[in-house]
Amino acid sequence: MHAYKLKIPVIGPTKIGKSKFVNIFTNQSSKVLTETYSPTVALRILEHDTEINGQSIDKKHNESITARIEFWDVSGDTKYQNGWTAVSKDCVGIIIICNSELMDEADISYWLSENIILYFHPYKHNTLLR
């Protein structure tokens, strides 16, 4: 039984390495070695179980929880843009993958713009800014 389920979308432009990042993080190293590029269709969800150790909020004792992290590997293809809003529902954070050597400033600004960035506040409802 997992105490927490954490949904984390991974977004960015096509061919940037989002799937490789998720494969490495979820210990699917055999898929990392594949040299053939295969674009993500819409999205794929990979899960990773982990134990998180830390101090309680009141700092009176140490805590250890088991969490299941859901990485939502979101296609960077703009033809799926209408589905990006649904990806923000119930997420706890977001990872944006980009490469400044392969992207110009306009590309990076697009992915960081208010049109597609997910807003996370730990004590409020998470939402997609538009």
pLDDT of 116 > 50? The answer is no
Would you list the domain boundaries of the chain?
4-128
Per-residue burial over 82-109, b if 16 or more Cβ lie within 10 Å, else e, is eebeebbeebbebbbbbeeeebeeebbe
Architecture per CATH, 4-128:
3-Layer(aba) Sandwich (3.40)
- pLDDT, residue 120, reads 40
| 11 exposure class (CB count in 10 Å sphere: 0-12, 13-18, 19+) | buried
pLDDT (tens digit per residue) in 117-127: 444 444 444 44
Distance, CA of 118 to CA of 80 (rounded, Å): 16
Handedness of CA 41, 119, 85, 67 (dihedral sign): positive
Question: Would you place residue 56 in the very low, low, confident or very high pLDDT band (cuts 50, 70, 90)?
Answer: confident
- pLDDT, residue 123, reads 44
